[in-house]
Amino acid sequence: MKVAVVGATGLVGGEILKVLAERDFPVTELLLVASERSVGKQMEFKGKQLKVIGMQDAIAAAPQIAIFSAGGSTSTEWAPKFAEVGTVVVDNSSAWRMDPSKKLVVPEINAKELTKEDKIIANPNCSTIQMVVALNKLHEELQMKRIVVSTYQSVTGTGVKAVDQLMNERGGKEGEKAYPYQIDLNVLPHIDVFQDNGYTKEEMKMILETKKIMGDDSIRVTATAVRIPVMGGHSESVNVEFAKDFTLDEVYRILGETEGVVVVDDVKNLKYPMPQDAHGKDEVFVGRVRLDETQPRTLNMWIVADNLRKGAATNAVQIAEYLVKHELV
């Protein structure tokens, strides 16, 4: 199994390498791929030093799987070239997510839709992934009608430059900025670019991707995406209305049976999910589960996950694992 990691030198790329090693993915040859300025750089994988190569060399090697985390424009240009040589691309960018000819996959929900014909597979947005993992089985049993979500997103979602900005500001140092304003001791209600409707691209990703992953355009979704000065994971306040009646006991039962979800909800002992507890973990953590007392069949919940892990790297590796297990590569 020859595997390429495209964007290997980035934050998510590094996390993909970590997850491949931790999950003992059956790699016989690993290709570390990055932009020309990183070619020749040495990186470690499972105790071995590997040299970073360029795109053309990686395509010539014809890997079975390429996991991309190198941005939308890179994916748009290069993913089809990998696909042409028979490589299955699992892409972390937004480039292919809403393309009707491409599958948008969260393995716990819709990996069964994948076939051998799928050569470019889209990995959803980090904030969408953790929300749909938590809500999927609830939707199956109770049928979601409307979701109102506000996110509290880690600076790691923006990348190394944003992490540096936060730490520089915290240390009183000057440096390059990823955001138009200070992020330390501040909150920015602005992730990605603003659209004509007043929503940001990040908010629209959550709205559109949820419907596509769930395969249900009738679900109404509205979102506010916010950047906060933390590292370790994204948090979400979610208010969800269902078509069917339910009790809190039923909700806890369903969440307890949901693959990939851990319930942390003991408010008497101040137990609830936090980004620092989700950091480095692959599960989605759910707590603060309570009825919305202003209208029937509606639930409030708090959802936290490591955005670099389940929100990106782990989900992509899980897709690759599914492809191998079901002999789709």
Whether residue 154 is annotated as binding a ligand: the answer is no
Is residue 75 marked as binding?
Answer: no
Is there a binding annotation on residue 20? no
Q: Is 12 annotated as a binding residue?
A: yes
227 assigned binding-site residue: yes
Q: Active-site residue among 139, 234, 279, 326?
A: 234
Residue 252 to residue 271: CA distance in whole angstroms: 15
Kindly write down the DSSP assignment for every residue of 195-254, as one continuous string: PTTS-BHHHHHHHHHHHHHHT-TT-EEEEEEEE-S--S-EEEEEEEEESS---HHHHHHH
Check residue 32 and report its DSSP letter. E
Contact 315, 15 (CB under 8 A): no
Residue 114 among known ligand-binding residues:
no
Look at residues 319, 312, 323, 313 and name the one whose alpha carbon lies nearest to residue 124: 312
Is 130 part of any known ligand binding site?
A: no
Angle at 169 between CA 164 and CA 173, to 5 degrees: 85
Is 197 annotated in a binding site? The answer is no
Which residue among 126, 139, 279, 326 is the active-site one? 126
* CB neighbour class for 154 (10 Å; exposed up to 12, middle 13-18, buried from 19): buried
**Is 23 assigned a ligand-binding role in the annotation?**
no
Amino acid present at 180: P
Is 38 a known ligand-binding residue?
yes
126 belongs to the catalytic site: yes
Q: Which residues are annotated as a binding site?
A: 9-12, 37-38, 97, 153, 227, 307
Q: Which residues are annotated as a binding site for NADP(+)?
A: 9-12, 37-38, 307
Tell me which residues are annotated as active site.
126, 234
